[in-house]
């Protein structure tokens, strides 16, 4: 049982009971509200059922992530980003899009950041970090070896290490000073991959907004400046 609990990212049986009770409460509330009882897609579902279940899983991932998010941990992560000389972002596979998204947003407000989706490059970059820098790894399962290895090197270099994962007791937590958790459930046909990314996008947007808010005027100016430059790349209207 203990091994099973740890595979789910939980410390033990008591945490499993709490998680199951919480899930049951959510399901009951959703059922009363008329939401799909499950987001699993069956062979007999109509196309309308499929659409309802997929959008339900996506919306649920965002609301559950917001409800479970530890604001104090998020605040600590924002503090670290605000003081950082440099930010390394490690994300591979489905999480790579989220890492690129965070990198672009940070870059647009003038925060020096790098995003790495290849294991060797990520580890090499981590080897150049120093105390005061920040390394953030994004992994839904928390078991992605490339991401964990890069964070481990960053930790040895004295950088502040942060992870974004769906399982707070997963291996990535062992190399993270701060763990930011999403809440997204896997569903049929890997629909959970989409909902997990949506939850990750929502979480890193909260992180970015908190960082940008610290230097509000400068961030707004930087966003406007970069937006104006990008607008010049649009095709002229006829």
Q: pLDDT digit string (tens) for 187-231?
A: 666 555 788 999 999 999 999 999 999 999 999 999 999 888 888
CATH number at residue 216: 3.40.50.10490
Within-domain flag for 195: yes
Same domain for 7 and 91?
no
> For the chain, percent helix, then strand, then coil, each to nearest 5?
60, 10, 30
Same domain for 18 and 75?
no
Which of 92, 95, 182, 77 is closest to 135 using CA atoms? 77
**What's the domain range around 11?**
1-35
In the prediction, which pLDDT does 231 show? 84
Same domain for 126 and 210?
yes
CA-based Rg of the chain, rounded to a whole angstrom? Answer: 19
Average pLDDT over residues 140-168: 97
Which residues on adjacent β-strands are paired with residue 32? none
Within-domain flag for 86: yes
Please count the structural domains in the chain.
2
Within-domain flag for 105: yes
Average pLDDT over residues 28-48: 70
Same domain for 31 and 75?
no
In the prediction, which pLDDT does 149 show? 98
Same domain for 108 and 204?
yes
Same domain for 87 and 203?
yes
Same domain for 190 and 95?
yes
Within-domain flag for 27: yes
Within-domain flag for 31: yes
Same domain for 25 and 97?
no
Same domain for 6 and 94?
no
Predicted TM-score (pTM) of this structure: 0.82
Binned at pLDDT 50, 70 and 90, residue 3 comes out as: low
Q: CB of 40 within 8 A of CB of 50?
A: no
Q: Is 236 in a helix, a strand, or coil?
A: coil
Same domain for 19 and 76?
no
What are the CA-CA distances from residue 193 to residues 10, 52, 82, 121, 189 (Å)?
21, 16, 30, 25, 9
Regarding predicted confidence, which is higher, 183 or 22? 183
In the prediction, which pLDDT does 96 show? 96
In the prediction, which pLDDT does 38 show? 63
Residue 176 to residue 202: CA distance in whole angstroms:
20
Q: CB of 133 within 8 A of CB of 86?
A: yes
| pLDDT of 29 strictly over 80 | no
Within-domain flag for 19: yes
Q: Under 8 Å CB-to-CB from 198, ≥6 apart: which residues? A: 58, 61, 62, 184
Q: What is the pLDDT of residues 49-94, one digit of tens each?
A: 888 888 888 899 999 999 999 999 999 999 999 999 999 999 999 8
Same domain for 175 and 79?
yes
Range in 93-97, 164-168, 189-193 the model is least confident about? 189-193
Residue 203 to residue 216: CA distance in whole angstroms:
19
Residue 116 to residue 113: CA distance in whole angstroms:
10
Within-domain flag for 238: no
Residue whose pair of structure tokens reads 């941990």 in the numeric block? 73
Regarding predicted confidence, which is higher, 12 or 194? 194
Same domain for 214 and 106?
yes
Within-domain flag for 230: no
């Amino acid at each position: 049982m203990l091994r099973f609990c740890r595979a789910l990212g939980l410390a033990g049986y008591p945490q499993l009971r709490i998680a199951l009770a919480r899930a049951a409460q959510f399901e009951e509330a959703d059922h009363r509200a008329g939401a799909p009882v499950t987001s699993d897609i069956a062979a007999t579902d109509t196309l309308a059922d499929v659409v309802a279940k997929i959008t339900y899983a996506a919306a649920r991932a965002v609301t559950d992530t917001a409800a479970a998010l530890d604001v104090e941990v998020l605040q600590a992560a924002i503090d670290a980003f605000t003081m950082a000389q440099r930010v390394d972002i490690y994300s591979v596979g489905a999480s790579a899009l989220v890492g690129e998204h965070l990198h672009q947003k940070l870059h647009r407000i003038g925060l020096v950041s790098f995003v790495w989706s290849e294991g060797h490059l990520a580890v090499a970059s981590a080897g150049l970090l120093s105390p005061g820098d920040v390394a953030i790894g994004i992994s839904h399962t928390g078991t992605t070896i490339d991401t964990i290895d890069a964070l481990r090197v960053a930790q040895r270099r004295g950088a502040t290490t942060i992870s974004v994962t769906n399982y707070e007791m997963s291996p990535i937590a062992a190399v993270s000073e701060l763990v930011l958790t999403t809440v997204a459930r896997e569903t049929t046909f890997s629909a959970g991959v989409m909902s997990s990314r949506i939850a990750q996008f929502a979480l890193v947007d909260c992180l970015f907004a908190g960082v940008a808010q610290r230097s509000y005027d400068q961030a707004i100016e930087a966003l406007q400046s970069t937006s104006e430059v990008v607008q010049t790349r649009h095709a002229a209207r006829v």
